[in-house]
């Protein structure tokens, strides 16, 4: 394992202890969970499909997809994250397969769909990762499903919103969403870590050999997060969320 992989794995293993305290991470808010089910139902092939969830973390998307009747394999670099996902699957009596490994080395498949949520930004070579996913996707008929958001804006308006949101989080005594901040040295090696637009991601998907890219904003997920948040905080922290799908 490379030093970069080791550092990323160590971060997320430590984060497994606190990751689910953020409702948006765990999809623990019933309204947001319902919004995600609707998004999965639209983006994935009809069940029962063989679905690989890459960077599954503590299992939020894997479990929702399994509830919809899909045969889900959850892949994650951090065993600590998958340990928590296993516990939640057992609590809900859901049958999910769990595999520890990096995003660029998926199980052989073939899968009807490969999906991820907010994972590609943690990879050093997104195009190579997307190629690896296409290699284990059924052709014809296989599908790529990326659930992403735009966190890369740095204009004055966004910086002002960030400062105000941080002040409100302190006022409401809301802890940071993770156990620590990401190491800047690691972030410097991750080309998709702060994208202000979906355009580079779309380019990478095509470069990796996928076809017919579609994009749809997940307004219901944004709405669910906004109404669940403390007054004003939801509006300040709202980030555009979108589903990007493509064909193998």
Q: How far apart are CA 231 and CA 174, in angstroms?
A: 13
Poorest-confidence range of 8-17, 67-76, 87-96, 151-160? 151-160
pLDDT, tens only, 209-223: 999 999 999 999 999
Both tokens of 194, joined, read 């702060």
Backbone angles phi, psi at 205, to 5 degrees: -60, -45
User: What is the span of the domain harbouring residue 82?
Assistant: 3-247
CATH number at residue 230: 3.40.50.150
Q: How confident is the model over 26-76, as pLDDT tens digits?
A: 999 999 999 999 999 999 999 999 999 999 999 999 999 999 999 999 999
d(CA 55, CA 133): 12
Closest CA to 143 of 73, 205, 199: 205
Q: Each residue of 98-122: pLDDT tens digit? A: 999 999 999 998 999 999 999 999 9
Please count the structural domains in the chain: 1
Model pLDDT, residue 138: 96
Residue 79: predicted pLDDT: 96
Read off the pTM: 0.95
Element housing 233 (H / E): helix 233-237
pLDDT at 94: 97
> CA-based angle 116:122:124, to the nearest 5?
115
**For the segment 171-221, what is each residue's pLDDT rounded down to a tens digit?**
999 998 899 998 999 999 999 998 999 999 999 999 999 999 999 999 999
């Amino acid at each position: 394992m490379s030093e970069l992989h080791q550092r990323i794995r160590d971060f997320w293993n430590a984060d497994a202890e606190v990751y689910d305290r953020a409702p948006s991470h765990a999809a623990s808010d019933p309204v947001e969970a319902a919004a995600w089910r609707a998004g999965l139902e639209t983006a994935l092939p009809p069940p029962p499909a063989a679905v690989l969830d890459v960077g599954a973390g503590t299992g939020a998307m894997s479990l929702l997809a399994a509830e919809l009747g899909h045969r889900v394999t959850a892949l994650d670099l951090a065993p600590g994250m998958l340990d928590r996902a296993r516990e939640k699957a057992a609590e809900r009596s859901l049958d999910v397969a769990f595999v520890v490994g990096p995003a660029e080395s998926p199980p052989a498949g073939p899968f009807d769909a490969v999906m991820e949520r907010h994972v590609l930004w943690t990879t050093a070579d997104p195009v190579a990762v997307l190629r690896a996913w296409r290699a284990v996707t059924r052709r014809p008929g296989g599908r790529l499903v990326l659930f992403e958001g735009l966190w890369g804006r740095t204009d004055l308006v966004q910086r002002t919103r960030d400062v105000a949101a941080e002040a409100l989080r302190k006022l409401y005594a809301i802890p940071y969403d993770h156990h620590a901040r990401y190491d800047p040295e690691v972030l410097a090696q991750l080309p998709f870590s702060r994208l202000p637009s979906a355009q580079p991601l779309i380019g990478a998907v095509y470069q990796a050999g996928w076809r017919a890219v579609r994009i749809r904003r997940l307004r219901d997920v944004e709405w669910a997060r906004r109404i669940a948040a403390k007054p004003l905080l939801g509006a300040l922290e709202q980030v555009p969320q979108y589903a990007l799908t493509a064909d193998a």
